[in-house]
């Protein structure tokens, strides 16, 4: 079950954090691509993960769950 919270009158899903280890050169390249695309590394990784899930579901069928891969899970900015 997903945890929901309300901010500014909008319902949001609780966002989980995960730590990922990268080789330094790979992180530099990822940062370069993210910057080129106008995104933070975190946002760029979310785009890549969403695309991967969508491709997987196209090939293998929908994965059970409440959130579609195209849903933005980025939390709202803190005031």
pLDDT 10s per residue in the chain (79 long)?
455 556 566 665 667 788 999 999 999 999 999 999 999 999 999 999 989 988 998 999 888 887 666 666 555 555 5
38-47 pLDDT per residue, tens = 999 999 999 9
Q: What is the pTM of this model?
A: 0.68
The residues, ordered by sequence, that sit 6+ positions from 50 with a Cβ below 8 Å of its Cβ are 69, 70
Q: Partners of 7 in the beta sheet?
A: 10
Contact at 8 Å (CB) between 9 and 40? Answer: no
Contact at 8 Å (CB) between 19 and 45? Answer: no
Nearest partner of 54 among 65, 67, 70, judged by Cα: 70
């Amino acid at each position: 079950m997903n945890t929901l919270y309300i901010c500014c009158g909008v319902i949001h899903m609780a966002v989980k954090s995960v730590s990922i280890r990268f080789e330094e050169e790979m992180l530099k390249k990822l940062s370069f691509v993210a910057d080129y695309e106008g995104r933070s590394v975190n946002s760029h990784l979310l785009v890549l993960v969403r695309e991967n899930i969508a491709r997987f579901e196209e090939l293998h069928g929908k994965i059970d769950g409440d959130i579609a891969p195209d849903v933005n899970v980025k939390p709202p900015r803190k005031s």
